Amino acid sequence: MAIVSAMLALSLVSVGVPSLVEGDHILLSSRSIRLADVMPAARGEARTRILAVLPAGRDRIILSRAAIYALVRRALPGTTIERAHAGSIAFVLRSPSERVKASPLCSALNNSVAAGAAVDAALVTRVTCTNAQPAPLTFDRPSMLPRATVNLPAGTYLGQLSVRPTAIGKGQVTSLVSTVGPVRIVRTVTTLQASHGRRVFVRDSDGQVFAVRRAELIK
């Protein structure tokens, strides 16, 4: 443990003699107070070292700069930092809405998708955003959905992609309702595309392909 702490301390002092953050108010994204919160100059693994945790049932705590200085020295023995000045810092946990805004969610595939296939909400899982390059997608205007440009395996990162639920899926067997005067005709058709639009191509039991209004289809 002493060796690890010494290595972390070395990574910290490699930037010179760091000092505690200026200001008297720090917003936290979690209940943990980490070294990076109080010492922005920290580098590497040292940044994630937890110094303290907000007490249960409280979303705010005030620590003197002297106490924070002592926490840093205890977490990283041998660290050379600028001695704390007088004063204190308030650590405040962000509200749930602020935490969501501060840590936006991104998307990843929960199943493999073939090149040219549409990516709808059923194929997407929300994940934490990373620095990874999102997979290449194109936008299909008729279906109002993104499409894969290459074969994509499950787990592929899509970045901050927002997709709408598929109102009508490709290959879905549904009922087409037509009205001719006082007569209401219902027949079975199969959709040939996924669509959020007003019209969708279908094939009936005779093999005929034609476009119908989305409102004429009953799931």
**Domain coordinates in residue numbering, the chain:** 2-96, 105-159, 173-218
State residue 132's pLDDT score: 83
State residue 43's pLDDT score: 67
Burial bucket for residue 111 (CB in 10 Å: 0-12, 13-18, 19+) = middle
Angstrom distance (rounded) from CA 150 to CA 167: 24
Task: Give the side-chain half-sphere CA count within 13 A for 169.
Answer: 10
* Secondary structure class of 87 (helix, strand, coil): coil
Rg (CA), the chain: 28
Report whether pLDDT(1) > 50.
no
State residue 215's pLDDT score: 56
Angstrom distance (rounded) from CA 44 to CA 27: 21
pLDDT digits (tens, 9 = 90+) for 74-125: 877 766 666 656 788 888 887 665 444 555 678 899 888 888 887 877 788 8
Contact present, 85 and 51 (Cβ < 8 Å)? no
pLDDT digits (tens, 9 = 90+) for 124-153: 888 888 888 888 888 776 666 788 888 889
pLDDT digits (tens, 9 = 90+) for 33-42: 888 888 776 6
Q: How does 80-109 read in b/e, with b if 16+ C-beta sit within 10 Å?
A: ebeebeeeebebebbeeeeeeeeeeebbbb
CATH code at 2-96? 2.60.480
pLDDT digits (tens, 9 = 90+) for 12-49: 444 444 567 777 788 887 888 888 888 776 666 777 88
State residue 50's pLDDT score: 86
Give the dihedral sign, CA 71/76/78/79: negative
Report whether pLDDT(184) > 50.
yes
State residue 7's pLDDT score: 44
State residue 219's pLDDT score: 53
State residue 145's pLDDT score: 74
pTM, full prediction: 0.39
The average pLDDT across 168-196 equals: 77
**158: nearest Cα among 117, 124, 107:** 107
